[in-house]
Each structure stands twice: as C-alpha cells, then as structure tokens.
Chain A
C-alpha cells in the first residue's frame, strides 16, 4: 500500500471513490444493454452511501466496478487517488483482500467450506496467524449471531443465514470500505435491523459503506442516497 499512500494527493485525500462518466455495455445478440450509462459518483472516506433502484437498473454492475472485480468499458475510475488502470493485478487482489469487504447479492460462499472456513478465507490470504484468525472469525460470526452454526456448510444454512455468513466474511478483515449488495434482502425485519446496526456501528468507527438496497426504509438510514435507473445515476439529497 506504500505506493498508494505516496501517490495520494492532499486535496483528494477525502475522496475514496471517484467515478467519471463510466459506461458498461453488454451485447446480447444484436441488442446492446447499457448497464451503466455515463455514471458519475463520488464517495468520500467515512461516508455511508445507499444506492437504490429497481431490478436490472445496474446496481450490481456498479458495485462490481467499484469493487475492482470488473472493468468499465469507458470513463474514469479513481480509487484512493489513483486511476484504476495504474494498479497491477496483484495490487488489485491485495486491495480486494485488505481494503474492501464484499457482501454479494448471491452470497458467493464456497460450498465445500463450512461457515467459519468461509469467513476465515480472506484472513488466510492476508497471512494472519492462526490464533488471531480463530479469534477474528469467532468475533465476526458472533456479530451476525451465527456462532452456533460455525461448522455448518452453506447448504445446511437458510438463505438469511448464508447472507449473514457473507456479511461476517466481509467484516472479518475489518476493511475500510464495505460494499454490500442487498445485505438485508433475505432477512426478516428484526434480523435486518440487527444487521443495519452493525453497519451503523462500522460507520461510526470510520468505515466507508456503500449499500445497495430495494428497501426505501433501509436507504433512508444512510447519510446519502443515490438513485439509479437504467444505468443512469441521480443524486437524491436528503
């Protein structure tokens, strides 16, 4: 990360994510789908931003680009003051590992690993020591109230429980940026509230949070709400 710190300019220090006219198109047969259409967005460090929009409007596509999983067709993405093209593949892997906590819409748990092993995986890639790993896994699972299901495989868990494992995996590494794609989509209102409390707590301790949701109530809890429709972003000020 040394390289990143060095290149960071003082005036941009606040801005963590900066998207400028980002486009992402998918060609299916003869039809071209504009999943993202000149999207422009800034997220400052420590902000809690929610993204709301109907199904198929390009929310997950936006997340994948922010999370360095996908690359935009055109436009500019500046992460931490450095254009995304300037990072090497190895650096991007390191960013995904240490800086970003991803909660996928489809959970993306490894089915051959138990809940705790799934949560442990990013810590293994960080080369955290065994004892420390066990401690952090336990703590993360406790936060999502799943300590009793630690040794269960994903197939043995309900949808909501899988979602909570995915959240535990994202927060176990204590990342500075959390990208959550409908983290409360499969949860009842009580659990949903508990999860939102976790996000609020993370926000209070200085984490940057980008949260995708269908639920207006959930969106309202964020500092800033962004609306997305057919790949176009509109800022909704509160």
Chain B
C-alpha cells in the first residue's frame, strides 16, 4: 500500500514523461481492443445475416431405428409439414468409375430429389436426379465437372455413358464446380457422381432402403430453428423418446468457415497488437532504466536507512507495473470511446461494435505481464546497488 503510494507519487512527479512512456502501451492496447472488437462485431453481424437467410440445413443421422426404420415415403410425408421445406436422403459410397480407357475412384452419392436444392448445387448442363428416377430405379447419374474432365475428357457429356462398379449409367447432368463457393474449397479434386438412392441400393450391399442419414431444410417462410424443433419432435415420437437414437445437427458450412476465418483474423490482428504492446514494454524498460540511474542517490539513502533488496525491487517493479496498467486503463478507455463513435457512424448498417470483454481481460493480463517482464531488469539493477556507491553517485 505504502509502496503503491510511492510509485504513484514518483510517476506523478514527471507527468509528461510518464505519459510519453505509456503512449506505447496505450496505442498497443487500443490496437488490440479495437481491432479484435471490430472483427468480432463484423463477423457477428455477418453470421446473423447468414443464419437469417435460412440457408441453414439440418443433417439428421439415425443410429438406432427401434424397429421403425425411415423410408423414402416417410421423407415425402415430412415434407408436407409446415415447418419443413425439403428433405433428401443421401448415402455415400466409393466405387471405380470407367469411361473409355480411363478408370478412377469415384465418390458415389445415392440421393433423392431436392438434394441439389438443399445443398445449393448448380447445374452446368442437363438436369439433376428427379423423383421419377427414384421411383423407377433408373441408371442415370449426375457428375461433377472434375469427373467429366478427368474421366470422360470433356464437360459437354450429357447423354454419354460411364461405368460405375461395372454397371452402365447415362449422364443426365453436369454440375458446376463452383470455385468461389466455400464448400468446394474443402471438397475439390474428388470425382463425384450422384445417382438415384434406389439405384444405389441395388448396386451396393451396404446401402438399404432403410435411410440412416438425410438432410432437411427449413420451409421458405420459416427458420431453421423451427424446422429443427419439428423434425426432432417427429423423430422423438417415432423412436420412443430416445434422444440417443438419432441426431439432428444444424450444419452451416458458411458459418463454420466464417468462424475459422474470424479466429484466424483475430489471432493475426491480436498478434500485431501484441507486438506493439511489446514495443511499448521496451519503452517502459528504457525509461525505468533512466529512472533508476537518476535516482541512484535516493536508492543509496533508502538502503542506508534500512531498505533491503526486496523492498527496492518491489518499489521499482511496482512503478513499472503501475505505469503499464495506467497505460492499459487509458488505452481501454479510449478504445471504448472510439468504438462508441464507430458504432454511431455505422449505426445505419445494423452492425454493433461492442467492446469484447475477453479481449479487455487479455489486454489487462498482457499489460501486467509486460510490466513485470520489462520492469524486472531495471528494478533488479536498483536492488543490487551497493549503498555506499549509490550514496556517492554523482556527488
């Protein structure tokens, strides 16, 4: 307590210098708090927009059907529900695909109609799998651009035949590889073919008509939450109120990607701000070294009347920490003000820039650490002085 008073007094005795020293910390803290808060605010509003667009879809997995397996008819019934838009079953297998002399491993999806709508796939040529294809177990397939170019050799291949697992399929559509889509960034380069679900059941031994995974989308005028609530209710009723029998996950690739990008951005900006904080810390160390030299005589006197090493160390360390924390407080205050101003300026954009409490805590902790780390050397230098040398210093 007494030491704190001494530290404040000593800082107060040279306000301009203290302020200039703190400037580094102030700027560092402002950079950290403002940048991270801005990124968070911006992402928050973007994420909100994405969610409200209803582009969310739900992934449903059934692990235990309790003797009441889900069939294609059930999906058709559920699609009648008010809260639910489309539902599409899917299953994925890997087969060898052949065309001409080429052969390669192909990811084959057994899907039902509306799969393209839910997944937001866009056609380059032809059409997607239709309900009639499902009913008639037709041997048609829709392929992606990569498969077309790598296996067939050209993309204008509607009507061509390819062999999947030894069975001939007619290509009825080619999907665009959307380079700008975030989804494709993670699933590029694989050869993909979509075939009717029922056809895959014939082709494969593992896939049966008992559907274990399907997508559900929200109704056009509803939200994902409503759809999730409805489908969960239906499945709970069906599977004897056992919530472990199935899972309903709202899976939004965009949102996931967004949060990955945000955390990367936060770390990047936070890192830059941290560097400026460290530079500020070096400024503190510099001025503390000057202070210690200037006050050599005072240190000598204090030691002569009985201050031990620890007391002196404490005094100068505390001074450095107080200097840091004052800079930190000013920086946080200014950040708050600036964020308020930005908030008012962009209020028309419905983006809220709130100060992020976590980043404030991080800033406080970091400043404290910097105070300790950069204050330790000068303080130790002061503590180690010999009383007689210090007393006779400079006169």
Chain A residues in the interface with B (C-beta under 8 A): 64, 67, 69-70, 89-90, 93-94, 96-98, 102, 104, 108-110, 112, 121-122, 124-126, 169
| A112-B10, A112-B298, A124-B2 given; A102·B304 CB < 8 A | yes
Binary A-proximity of B278-302 (CB < 8 A = 1, otherwise 0): 0000000000000000000110111
Residue picked from B300, B303, B306, most chain A C-beta under 10 Å = B306
B contacts with A, residue count (CB < 8 A) = 21
Binding site for A on B (CB under 8 A): 2, 9-10, 13, 297-298, 300-311, 387-388, 391
Contact of A64 among B305, B306, B310, B388 (CB under 8 A): B388
A121 CA / B304 CA spacing, docked (Å): 11
Contact B304 A108 (CB under 8 A): yes
List of B residues within 8 angstroms of A108 by Cβ: 297, 300-301, 304, 391
| Nearest B residue to A96, CB-CB | B306
Query: Which residues from chain A contact B10 at a C-beta distance below 8 Å?
Result: 112
Q: Are A96 and B304 in contact (CB under 8 A)?
A: yes
Bound complex: CA of A125 vs CA of B306, how far in Å?
7
Most buried by B among A69, A89, A94, A104: A69
User: Which 6 residue pairs of A and B lie closest in terms of their CB atoms, listed nearest first?
Assistant: A97-B306, A93-B308, A70-B388, A122-B305, A125-B306, A96-B306
| Nearest residue, chain B, Cβ from A95 | B306
- CB A60 to nearest CB in B, in angstroms, measures 10
Chain A residues within 8 Å of B311, by CB: 125
Q: Is the CB of A110 within 8 A of B298?
A: yes
- Chain A contacts of B301 at CB under 8 A? 108-110
- On chain B, the residues within 8 Å of A93 by CB distance are 303, 306-309
CA distance A93 to B300 in the complex (A): 12
A155 and B307 alpha carbons, distance in the complex (Å): 23
**In the complex, which of the residues A70, A89, A90, A96 contacts B305, with contact meaning CB atoms closer than 8 Å?**
A96
Give the residues in chain A near B300, CB-CB below 8 Å: 108
Chain A residues contacting B305 (CB-CB under 8 Å) are 96-97, 102, 121-122, 125, 169
Are B306 and A69 in contact (CB-based, < 8 A)? no
The smallest C-beta distance from A88 to any residue of chain B, in angstroms, reads: 10
Instruction: Determine if B307 and A125 form an interchain contact, defined as CB atoms under 8 angstroms apart.
Output: yes
How many A-B residue contacts, CB cutoff 8 Å? Answer: 57
Report how far A112 CA is from B9 CA in the complex, Å. Answer: 9
| Nearest B residue (CB) for A98 | B306
Q: How far is it, in angstroms, between the C-alpha of A219 and the C-alpha of B300 when the chains are bound?
A: 29
Residues of chain A within 8 A (CB-CB) of B309 are 89-90, 93
Residues of B within 8 A of A102 (CB): 304-305
Determine the chain B residues whose CB is within 8 A of the CB of A110 once the complex forms.
298, 301-302
Q: Is the CB of A69 within 8 A of B387?
A: yes
A107 — nearest CB in chain B belongs to which residue? Answer: B301
Contact of B391 among A69, A98, A122 (CB under 8 A): A69
Could you tell me the distance between the alpha carbons of A185 and B318 in the complex, rounded to whole angstroms? 39
- Known contacts A108-B301, A112-B298: A89-B308 contact under CB 8 Å: yes
Do A94 and B302 have beta carbons less than 8 Å apart? no
Tell me which residues across on chain B come within 8 A of A90, comparing CB atoms.
308-310
Q: Identify the closest chain A residue to B298 (Cβ).
A: A110
CB distance from A34 to the nearest CB of B (A): 18
B residues near A64, Cβ cutoff 8 Å: 388
B308 touches which of A70, A94, A124 (Cβ 8 Å)? A94
User: Which residues from B are CB-within-8-Å of A126?
Assistant: 306
B262 CB to nearest chain A CB (Å): 50
The answer on a CB contact under 8 Å between A69 and B9 is no
When chains A and B are docked, how far (Å) is the Cα of A93 from the Cα of B391?
15
Q: What is the chain A residue whose CB lies nearest that of B390?
A: A69
Seed contacts A90-B310, A126-B306, A169-B305; 7 additional CB < 8 Å A-B pairs: A96-B304, A97-B307, A102-B305, A112-B10, A112-B13, A122-B306, A125-B308
B306 to A94, Cβ gap below 8 A? yes
Contacts of A89 in B (CB 8 A): 308-309
- Give the complex CA separation of A98 and B391 in angstroms: 20
A94: B residues at CB distance < 8 A: 306, 308
- Bound: A109/B2 CA distance, A: 19
Residue of A nearest to B387 (CB): A69
Most buried by B among A93, A96, A126, A169: A93
In the complex, what distance in Å separates the CA atom of A108 from the CA atom of B395? 11
**B385 CB, nearest partner CB in chain A, Å:** 11
Between A and B, 20 residue pairs with Cβ closer than 8 Å are: A69-B304, A69-B388, A89-B309, A93-B308, A93-B309, A94-B308, A96-B304, A96-B306, A96-B387, A102-B304, A102-B305, A108-B301, A108-B304, A108-B391, A109-B301, A110-B298, A110-B302, A121-B302, A125-B306, A125-B307
Contacts of B310 in A (CB 8 A): 90
Kindly state the separation between the CA atoms of A90 and B311 in the bound complex, as whole angstroms: 11
B306: which A residues are within 8 A, CB to CB? 93-94, 96-98, 122, 125-126
Output the nearest chain A residue to B311 by Cβ-Cβ distance: A125
CA distance A104 to B300 in the complex (A): 12
- A96 proximity list for chain B (CB < 8 A): 303-306, 387
CB distance from B293 to the nearest CB of A (A): 16
A126 nearest in chain B by CB position = B306
Q: Identify the closest chain A residue to B297 (Cβ).
A: A108
Bound-state Cα–Cα, A45 to B387, Å: 26
Alpha-carbon separation in the docked complex, A199 to B381 (Å):
38
> Which of chain B's residues has its CB closest to A100's CB?
B306
Residues of B within 8 A of A109 (CB): 301
A102 to B304, CA, bound (A): 8
Q: For residue A107, give the distance in angstroms from its CB to the closest CB of chain B.
A: 9
The smallest beta-carbon distance between A67 and chain B, in angstroms, is 8
Q: In the docked arrangement, what's the CA distance between A54 and B387, Å?
A: 25
Q: How far is the CB of B120 from chain A (nearest CB, A)?
A: 72
